[in-house]
């Protein structure tokens, strides 16, 4: 049985960043990364791909070029974790033993989480930047008018702002191409507000009002009917058991049951329901009940598992009350690496703390972006340097340049190398 000082599950943003930081701090550590994919994807740019302003090929690079030197790349899938025996099973490479484990496999799309989604996705105007942003761009280019519906599920999703980013870009595209007057742009969400942090919500609410976008809170997608090009929503406003009077005639909504609304679509973009990989859900390291069921249990500040102190988790799979973004991982990785190194050195946990920082670069049109940065409890947490130069709660062209050029450069050349 192969044994590692540190075993990392996942070679995405989180796993690579932690490995790179550990190697930069101590080149003698024996580290293994379990990652089946030969390709590494820069997914934050997929919003721009879906709007025709970024090349999909430039979001894909070879995984081998980002595995830190000296780290063993186990090109395989993790299939089970036994935190008592301190082992990880793999699909083809057998069992691995570890002294310390970093869990960062990301999440997976559950295409069966909404009835009709699997059958309809990728054809007849049903698209998702989470799955195939090039098809989103194809749908947008071929759109001639009618209802353009953008929605998201009730499950946690990575980059919670992504479903509305493509909505703003699509609306701008339709306006620029003379199609806006014959189009209804609709954003339907299970959420109660457009954004959780007030400073940024104020700007976004103004945009929605100024651009005549239909905002539909309390709308949870439950079924897609591709034959009739209709999407069904459960209306779920707290304390209200009936949505009588909420169906909107201007977009041909129809109330079919007390809490079910049916909406026709000509273009439908949605984020699929998302969940932790099955081997995580079935492991003792995951919550077995409650609102975080299936996600890895960690201390929200130290990112250490409360029951198995040699286990740490970060990224999308960790049960943290903040947005699942690459920006969050940028702040989580130094905490995991620092606390882990201290634990190895003298058996005490380091003092590094994660305060819940995350960021959502909210692209609101071609050449415009609001940079929403926040931490736990939806407290604004904007970068001190940027804040001196810009009010990042406003739509700004320099923030668009940051999104399109600055952040991809920093990702490939700094973040994945463990330098930031």
**pLDDT tens digits, 358-367:** 999 999 999 9
Given a cut of 60, whether residue 238 has pLDDT beyond it is: no
User: What residues does 311 pair with on adjacent strands?
Assistant: 101
pLDDT band at 257 (very low <50, low <70, confident <90, very high): confident
Mean pLDDT of the residues in the chain: 95
Question: Is the separation of the CB atoms in 400 and 369 below 8 Å?
Answer: yes
Whole-angstrom Cα distance, residue 313 to residue 207?
37
With H, G, I as helix, E, B as strand and everything else as coil, classify residue 419. coil
pLDDT band at 244 (very low <50, low <70, confident <90, very high): very low
Alpha carbon 60 to its chain centroid, in Å, reads: 17
Q: pLDDT tens-digit profile of 330-341?
A: 999 999 999 999
Token digits of residue 202? 């104020």
With H, G, I as helix, E, B as strand and everything else as coil, classify residue 39. strand
Q: What is the pLDDT of residue 368?
A: 97
Given a cut of 90, whether residue 246 has pLDDT beyond it is: no
* Residues 189-197, mean pLDDT to the nearest whole number: 94
pLDDT band at 388 (very low <50, low <70, confident <90, very high): confident
φ and ψ at 257, to 5 degrees? -145, 180
The domains found in the chain, sorted by start residue, are 2-51+60-107+276-357 (3.50.50.60), 110-273 (3.50.50.60)
Q: What is the pLDDT of residue 383?
A: 85
Given a cut of 60, whether residue 241 has pLDDT beyond it is: no
**Integer angstrom CA distances of residue 54 from 12, 48, 82, 295, 405:** 21, 5, 42, 32, 10
Percent of the chain whose predicted confidence (pLDDT) is above 70:
97
| Residues recognised as catalytic | 159, 360
Whole-angstrom Cα distance, residue 162 to residue 160?
6
* Residues 400-409, mean pLDDT to the nearest whole number: 96
Q: What is the pLDDT of residue 242?
A: 44
Predicted TM-score of the model (pTM): 0.94
Whole-angstrom Cα distance, residue 38 to residue 61?
9
**Integer angstrom CA distances of residue 377 from 111, 153, 282, 323, 384:** 30, 22, 29, 11, 19
Q: pLDDT tens-digit profile of 195-236?
A: 999 999 999 999 999 999 999 999 999 999 999 999 999 998
Q: pLDDT tens-digit profile of 58-110?
A: 999 999 999 999 999 999 999 999 999 999 999 999 999 999 999 999 999 99
Q: pLDDT tens-digit profile of 129-176?
A: 999 999 999 999 999 999 999 999 999 999 999 999 999 999 999 999
Whole-angstrom Cα distance, residue 104 to residue 295?
11
pLDDT band at 299 (very low <50, low <70, confident <90, very high): very high
Contacts 24+ apart (CB under 8 A), 73-79: 73/11, 73/32, 73/33, 73/35, 74/32, 74/33, 74/34, 74/35, 75/35, 75/36, 75/38, 76/34, 76/36, 77/34, 77/36, 78/9, 78/34, 78/105, 78/277, 78/279, 79/279
Q: What is the pLDDT of residue 247?
A: 62
Whole-angstrom Cα distance, residue 338 to residue 345?
11
């Amino acid at each position: 049985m192969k044994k590692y000082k540190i075993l990392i599950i996942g070679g995405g943003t989180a796993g690579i960043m932690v490995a790179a930081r550990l190697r930069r701090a101590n080149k003698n550590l024996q580290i293994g990364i379990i990652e089946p994919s030969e390709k590494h994807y820069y997914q934050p740019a997929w919003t721009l791909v879906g709007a025709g302003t970024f090349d999909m090929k430039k979001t894909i690079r070879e995984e081998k070029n980002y595995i830190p030197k000296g780290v063993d790349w186990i090109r395989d899938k993790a299939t089970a974790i036994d935190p008592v025996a301190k082992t990880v099973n793999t699909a083809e490479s057998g069992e691995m033993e570890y002294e310390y484990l970093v869990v960062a496999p990301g999440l997976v799309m559950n295409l069966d989480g909404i009835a009709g989604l699997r059958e309809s996705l990728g054809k007849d105007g049903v698209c998702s930047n989470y799955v195939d942003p090039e098809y989103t761009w194809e749908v947008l280019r071929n759109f001639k008018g009618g209802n353009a519906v953008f929605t998201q599920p009730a499950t946690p999703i990575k980059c919670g702002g992504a479903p509305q980013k493509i909505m703003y870009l699509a609306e701008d595209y339709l306006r620029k191409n003379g199609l806006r007057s014959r189009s209804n742009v609709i954003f339907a969400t299970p959420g109660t507000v457009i954004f959780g942090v007030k400073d940024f919500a104020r700007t976004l609410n103004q945009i929605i009002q100024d651009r005549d976008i239909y905002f539909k809170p309390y709308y949870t997608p439950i079924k897609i009917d591709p034959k009739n090009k209709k999407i069904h929503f459960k209306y779920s406003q707290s304390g209200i058991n009936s949505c009588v009077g909420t169906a909107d005639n201007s977009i041909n909504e129809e109330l079919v049951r007390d809490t079910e609304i049916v909406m026709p679509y000509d273009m439908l973009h949605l984020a699929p329901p998302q969940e932790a990989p099955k081997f995580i859900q079935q492991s003792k390291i995951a919550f077995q009940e409650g609102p975080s069921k299936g996600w890895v249990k960690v201390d929200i500040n130290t990112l250490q598992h409360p029951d198995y102190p040699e286990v740490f988790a970060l990224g999308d799979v960790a049960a943290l009350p903040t947005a699942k973004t690459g920006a969050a991982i940028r702040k989580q990785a130094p905490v995991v690496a620092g606390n882990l190194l201290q634990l190895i050195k003298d058996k005490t946990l380091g003092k590094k703390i994660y305060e819940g920082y995350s960021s959502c670069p909210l692209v609101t049109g071609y050449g415009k972006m609001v940079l929403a940065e926040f931490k736990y409890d939806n407290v604004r947490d904007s970068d001190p340097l940027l804040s001196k130069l810009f009010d990042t709660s406003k739509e700004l062209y320099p923030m668009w340049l940051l999104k399109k050029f600055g952040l991809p450069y920093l990702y490939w050349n700094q973040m994945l190398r463990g330098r930031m």
